[in-house]
């Protein structure tokens, strides 16, 4: 009777160990796996052909002033000016307006499509109360054209795969050790 009780006690602890191991694996896999990143590609000189190329690529222009940021709709570009209708940006993408650095900025998979279509124009000009914006190209002191940060994405993938592999390996090793100890316990009684 004593060996059966010990077997049942060790079996329950084995199940508990597997459950804890599976829980740890789930936590590891959900925490930081396969993140998406973007880079800003900051340039401090802007030309009309550059803006025309971005406009023909269906990019969304976001103008940053010292007071606020807004997007431009119905964009027209000539050699000296970019103009369009002022449109307030969707607030759910506000975290993309102020990236932490040039590289390694996190974005969610839901934000990816809008993030990679954004072009940010920075100016000291003021457009208070205007619904139609005329912005001189030479007053733009910075432009950010967001794109995928392949290096950061690749690093995240490697870390995720290694983390999951180590977690699974640890669970398998623990399972083998527990099964081996249970086997030894049964044969000794």
pLDDT digits (tens, 9 = 90+) for 57-75: 888 899 988 888 888 999 9
Residue 5 tokens, joined: 């009780």
**Which of 137, 23, 119 has the alpha carbon at shortest distance from 72?**
119
Residue 61 tokens, joined: 């222009």
Per-residue pLDDT reduced to its tens digit, 106-154: 777 777 777 788 899 999 988 877 789 899 999 999 998 888 877 876 7
Instruction: Look at the alpha carbons of 4, 8, 13, 15 in this order and tell me if their dihedral is positive or negative.
Output: positive
> 98 φ, ψ to 5°?
-130, 80
The Cβ-side half-sphere exposure at 44, using a 13 Å CA radius, reads 0
pTM beyond 0.75: no
How far apart CA 97 and CA 83 sit, in angstroms, is: 20
Whole-number pLDDT of residue 161: 76
Instruction: Beginning with the edge strand found earlier in the chain, give each strand of the sheet holding 42-43 in spatial order.
Output: 42-43, 140-145, 118-123, 60-64, 69-77, 81-87, 132-136
126: which strand partners?
none
């Amino acid at each position: 009777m004593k060996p059966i009780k010990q077997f049942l006690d060790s079996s329950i602890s084995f199940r508990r160990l597997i459950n804890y191991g599976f829980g740890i694996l789930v936590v590891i896999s959900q925490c930081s796996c396969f993140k998406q990143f973007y880079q800003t590609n900051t340039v401090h000189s802007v030309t009309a052909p550059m803006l025309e190329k971005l406009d023909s690529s269906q990019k969304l222009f976001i103008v940053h002033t010292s007071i606020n940021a807004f997007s431009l709709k119905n964009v027209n570009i000539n050699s000296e000016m970019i103009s369009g209708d002022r449109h307030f940006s969707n607030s759910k993408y506000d975290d993309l307006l102020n990236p932490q650095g040039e590289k390694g900025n996190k974005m969610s998979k839901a934000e990816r499509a809008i993030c990679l279509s954004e072009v940010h124009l920075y100016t000291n000009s003021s457009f208070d109360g205007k619904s139609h914006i005329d912005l001189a190209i030479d007053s733009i002191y910075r432009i950010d054209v967001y794109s995928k940060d392949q290096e950061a994405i690749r690093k995240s993938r490697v870390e995720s795969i290694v983390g999951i592999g180590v977690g699974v390996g640890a669970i398998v090793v623990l399972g083998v050790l527990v099964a081996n100890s249970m086997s030894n316990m049964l044969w000794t009684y």
